[in-house]
Amino acid sequence: MTTAIDVFVSDRQFRLSVQNRFAEPQTLPVYTDATLPDASDWQWALIAVSDGTSNKRLAISDGTDWRFPDGNVVT
């Protein structure tokens, strides 16, 4: 049985692959207020909210709700 890790020839190659992936800008999944996924399924996940107001464009799941960085719940 092979696993995803078996694909890499060495630990060093695996680490370099991860470093290269995160050396590039990361793209966040984008949702609207109406299409937010269940926060309990995505604790500590970071998303973009396309219909957020002014500075309220990023949100993180606390395991119960999606919250803007100022702590307010995304509604």
In this prediction, residue 13 carries a pLDDT of 84
User: Where residue 3 falls among pLDDT bands split at 50, 70, 90?
Assistant: low
pTM: 0.69
| pLDDT of 1 higher than 60 | no
Q: 18-71, pLDDT tens digit by residue?
A: 888 778 888 899 999 999 999 999 999 999 999 987 778 999 999 999 999 999
Distance CA(32)–CA(30), nearest Å, equals 7
pLDDT in the model for residue 9? 63
CB-based contacts of 66, cutoff 8 Å, min separation 6: 36, 39, 47, 49, 59, 60, 73, 74
